[in-house]
């Protein structure tokens, strides 16, 4: 889709409702796909159909913010590695029922920020964090860390099932909670439920005892999502979950994320602006450790307030 890049365009003036960036065409099952409207004033970009409203399988932001509850809050979060700041003074909310996408060029601090939400940054030697991160109004530093991570779970860039069966992978987070170890039969419905929510159940139901590492890459990543969902977290963190996957698996996982956002607050870090455009309700654009712009996805993509955001979403750098 090189022909639809907007590199040559001058950014639209702030405030005007500019068209969204071009979207890579994806196919999900038999559903119709839509390609983003072409940029105006450039007749040579003839590959895309006429402009359309933000609906359909490609662009599915929430129309209203009515049912959204703030789950997490970041207040002046700064993260430094060995004294070098990677994230500076970031404040923003994480809401239930929506997808928050963190975008920005490599090294902008978006993954560091994501990892700070369940205190995984603490595992990095030399990392330090200031500012407050709240989960349902309570400071995450005051929570027991394993309890926090059950409530704020995470899926990683590389699919990383554990070397055990599909069943045991999903049951992993459910086991060894407290002294009484739940039996296999007691776990079975919970495991099936998590696999159903991650859209994997139909594919693996016939043999839950198979080794998880024998699944395909896309299935492995959905298994990792099922594993993260098993303990019924309130927030799901996704660190570039599709970057190691092929386009079809990516489309499947994006569908899944859109289904899950009703049940769990989702924060996704992505390099892929088209992906953020397809699935995000809110977007935070980070650059050199700063949160340059935060807002509804429509607005950030359509009418960015900051020059840097405008340049990034139009593909001028990154």
Partner 1 sequence: MSIRATEARGSSEAWPLADRIGLRLAWAAGILLCAVVAAIVLYVLVRGLAELRPSLLFERPLDTPDQSHGGGFLDPLAGTVLVTMIGTVIAVPLGVAAAVWVTEYGRPPGLARAVESAIEVIAGTPSIVLALFGLFFFSQGIFGFLSFTSEGGGVFGRSFLIAGAMLSLIALPLVFGATREALNAVPAHVREASYALGKTRAATIRRILLPASRPGIATGTALGMGRIAGDTAIIVILLGLLRFDGAGAGVPVLDTLRGTGSTLTSYTYANSPAGEGGAEAKAWAAAFVLLVLVVALNWLVDWIGRRWKAPAWTR
Contacting residues toward partner 1, per CB under 8 A: 118, 120, 123, 146-150, 153-154, 156-160, 162-164, 172-173, 176, 213, 224, 227-228, 231, 237, 244
Count Cβ atoms within 10 A of the Cβ of residue 16 and give its class: 0-12 exposed, 13-18 middle, 19 or more buried: exposed
Q: How far is CA 231 from the centre of its chain?
A: 19
> Which of 283, 299, 262, 253 has the alpha carbon at shortest distance from 100?
283
> Rounded to the nearest whole angstrom, what is the least distance from the CB of residue 169 to partner 1 in the complex?
10
Q: What is the enclosing helix (H) or strand (E) of 285?
A: strand 282-287
Give the DSSP H or E segment for 76. strand 70-81
Compute the CA torsion angle 53, 56, 62, 66 (nearest 10 deg): 90
Beta carbon nearer to partner 1, 78 or 157: 157
The residue (of 41 and 178) whose beta carbon lies closer to partner 1 is: 178
Alpha-carbon distance 110 to 48, whole Å? Answer: 31
Query: Which CB atom, from 6 or from 245, has the smaller least distance to partner 1?
Result: 245
Nearest distance from C-beta of residue 213 to partner 1, angstroms: 5
Would you say 143 or 288 has its CB closer to partner 1? 143
Nearer to partner 1, 240 or 293 (CB): 240
Residue 18 or 229: the one with the smaller Cβ distance to partner 1 is 229
Alpha helical stretches, state H, the chain: 110-117, 145-151, 166-171, 184-197, 201-204, 217-229, 247-260, 273-279, 297-302, 307-313
In this complex, which beta carbon is closest to partner 1, that of residue 24 or of residue 149? 149
Minimum CB separation of residue 166 from partner 1 in Å reads 14
Which letter does DSSP use for residue 258 in this model?
A: H
| Shortest Cβ 99–partner 1 spacing (Å) | 19
Task: Give ∠ CA 74-272-100 in degrees, rounded to 5.
Answer: 30
Q: How far is the CB of 283 from partner 1 (least distance, A)?
A: 23
Question: Smallest distance, Å, CB 163 to partner 1?
Answer: 4
Shortest Å, Cβ 318 to partner 1? 24
């Amino acid at each position: 889709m090189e022909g639809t890049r907007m590199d040559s365009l001058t950014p639209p003036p702030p405030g005007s409702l500019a068209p969204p960036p071009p979207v890579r065409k994806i196919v999900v099952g038999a559903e119709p796909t839509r390609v983003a409207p072409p940029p105006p004033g450039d007749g040579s970009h003839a590959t895309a159909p006429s402009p359309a409203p933000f609906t359909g399988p490609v662009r599915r932001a929430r129309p209203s913010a009515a049912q959204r509850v703030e789950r997490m809050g970041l207040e002046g979060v700064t993260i430094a590695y060995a004294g070098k700041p990677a994230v500076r003074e970031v404040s923003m909310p994480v809401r239930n029922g929506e997808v928050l996408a963190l975008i920005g060029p490599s090294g902008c601090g978006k993954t560091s920020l994501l990892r700070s939400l369940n205190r995984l940054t603490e595992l990095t030697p030399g990392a330090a964090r200031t500012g407050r991160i709240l989960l349902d109004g309570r400071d995450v530093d005051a929570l027991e860390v394993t309890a926090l991570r059950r409530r704020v779970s995470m899926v990683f860039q590389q699919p990383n099932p554990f070397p055990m069966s599909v069943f045991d992978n999903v049951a992993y987070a459910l086991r060894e909670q407290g002294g009484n170890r739940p039996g296999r039969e007691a776990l079975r419905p919970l495991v099936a439920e998590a696999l159903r929510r991650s859209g994997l159940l139909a594919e693996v139901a016939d043999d839950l005892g198979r080794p998880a590492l024998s699944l395909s890459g896309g299935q492995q990543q959905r298994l990792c999502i099922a594993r993260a969902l098993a303990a019924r977290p309130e927030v799901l963190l996704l660190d570039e979950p599709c970057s190691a996957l092929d386009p079809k698996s990516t489309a499947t996982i994006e569908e899944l994320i859109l289904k899950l956002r009703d049940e769990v607050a989702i924060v996704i870090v992505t390099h892929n602006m088209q992906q953020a455009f397809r699935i995000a309700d809110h977007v935070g654009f980070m650059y050199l450790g700063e949160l340059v712009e935060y807002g509804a996805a429509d607005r950030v993509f359509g009418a960015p307030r900051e020059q840097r955001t405008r340049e990034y979403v139009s593909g001028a750098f990154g």
